[in-house]
Structure 1
């Protein structure tokens, strides 16, 4: 395939009922654009793979994982395979609308943006379980990272290929993709996009993600602010720890001078456990993350394994319309 203008990367996991309308909508939206579509099947247990093979056209590639790796790894695999000048990412649950892609691509080209991010203007999700946690997470991420986007949870985005393919996606960092792009000096903007209620399948997300997001936020803040100068973080914590320890020791010394027995006091034991344990846990987590990145990047290893790659056929575009 010649280098297309746009590569559309779509992650799918147990979306058998969404495949046909998803591909039909994507092909129709991209008519007149030189494109390729890359679907990443993330270990589905339903008929997702067979439906993609049934309805895919010759511009569609399907990456089939041998197990479920998660959305971030699936996006990384699709971006690695993309050969377009621009790369778009999109969910496969039909809540994102492919009709927004041409306008986002045009804006990126005409105004020379590195990233054009979607903002779900009229989000069709549950208010308590989805919208409120999302608003809180967006506010926290926006104000701690100083990357001022309104909707970090919207997967629908268009990137220049050189930005997307150098972000270094690991773990579950897909929510922080704008932060990773900003670290490369990317110029980004937001546009309102359509959002539809989920019709088929079930959501893979819930409130359990909250603590994972907070843990990843700590990691992102470290890489954003202290990766090249860790002494500013660990030195500051060390000084704070030393000062607190000194104050506690001085307080206990005064009590000792006054004749009180200070050995075995809960405040002394608890202080030691919390200070040393907290520093050790945070430090160990960050060091482990650096080791993982070094292991994969120094050897050009991937965090996933593709079991098979399927290339669609040209005739099957018509089959979609005739079977709809």
Structure 2
């Protein structure tokens, strides 16, 4: 199969038939073999009914319905697991991503041999203050932190080589950082394509300003995981050694001064009256705790048990 189109959605009943027809038209015009995977992330409208109707009329349509809203990352996770196409395209269901971009994205993967191609909505139809400016700041921070030179990490329109999506684990809210996850797994040929951004035709956006706050927090998480995720002792052990060293040197200094004053006949104050005593004690305790955190991290890595992060109620 040439292409799998993975579409996570939440309450998009109005746009689904139009999006489906548009994708089918593009696929037929270019002679692609394809499948369309609609991942219903706990919609409360009749989106699932629409998906079932589309699946009955088009055998290339498949659907997965979550029991409740788990988030876009979990929807992409199961979509990637079920996708069987040589090239996997992801897009949003709100008609702001154009299926007409699919042929060129497909060519960039198959002919130009990119591992991943991300869309760049260079001209946007969103509010400048609510989305455009925060998005630019977010993308700048993501580039500086991750080293992946993309202008639009948040764009839902992306193309992947099949191997990429089968070897990355999208969890939490890490869908924004799939290119970074791919790079961490060794898929570093990452391209970008300017794509058309269309104004929302139906409904309203499901994302508020909180996504940028969460995005920056996730950025810190993925930076940490990319640097120390497979070797937590390298970070916690180094910090623990530093803190314990500061505490030990402070304690040794207090002890030497105390002994010197006793030896020279001077009146020595109680060690517990010296503020350095508490500094050294605190530093050694913190250092020990950091060491323990590193050991626990290493143990968890070696014994962790992967479990499902969502529950599917129906499939088509």
Instruction: Specify if TM > 0.5.
Output: yes
Q: Decide which of 26, 29, 36 is 1:29's aligned counterpart.
A: 26
Partner of 2:121: 120
Distance 1:42-1:262 versus aligned 2 partners, 3 A rule = same
Partner of 1:93: 94
Q: Deviations over 1:114-141 (max 9, x none)?
A: 1111111112211112112211111111
- State how 1:1-324 maps to structure 2 within 5 Å: 4-31=1-28, 32-56=31-55, 57-186=58-187, 187-242=189-244, 276=286, 287=297, 294-296=304-306, 301-310=307-316
Q: Deviations over 1:284-322 (max 9, x none)?
A: 9x949x6699321xxxx4322221112xxxxxxxxxxxx
Q: Is the 8 A contact 2:96 2:199 kept in 1?
A: yes
* Alpha-carbon distance between aligned partners in 1 of 2:211 and 2:186, rounded to the nearest angstrom: 28
Deviation at 1:227, TM superposition (A): 2.7
Aligned residue-pair number: 297
Q: Secondary structure at the match of 2:106?
A: helix
Q: Secondary structure at the match of 1:121?
A: coil
Unpaired runs of 5+ in structure 1?
A: 311-324
Give the superposed CA RMSD: 3.4
Distance 1:121-1:261 versus aligned 2 partners, 3 A rule = same
* Alpha-carbon distance between aligned partners in 1 of 2:303 and 2:271, rounded to the nearest angstrom: 50
Q: Deviations over 1:44-70 (max 9, x none)?
A: 000111122233421000111111111
Deviation at 1:230, TM superposition (A): 2.6
Q: Deviations over 1:168-200 (max 9, x none)?
A: 111111011001111122111101011112221
Q: Is the 8 A contact 1:252 1:262 kept in 2?
A: no
Relative CO higher for 1 or 2, CA cutoff 8 Å, sep ≥ 6? 1
Deviation at 1:148, TM superposition (A): 1.4
* Alpha-carbon distance between aligned partners in 1 of 2:107 and 2:115, rounded to the nearest angstrom: 12
Taking structure 2 as the reference length, the TM-score comes to 0.81
Q: Secondary structure at the match of 1:8?
A: strand
Distance 1:239-1:309 versus aligned 2 partners, 3 A rule = same
Q: Secondary structure at the match of 2:305?
A: helix
Deviation at 1:239, TM superposition (A): 4.2
Unpaired runs of 5+ in structure 2?
A: 262-267
Distance 1:199-1:245 versus aligned 2 partners, 3 A rule = farther
Deviation at 1:14, TM superposition (A): 0.7
Deviation at 1:263, TM superposition (A): 6.3
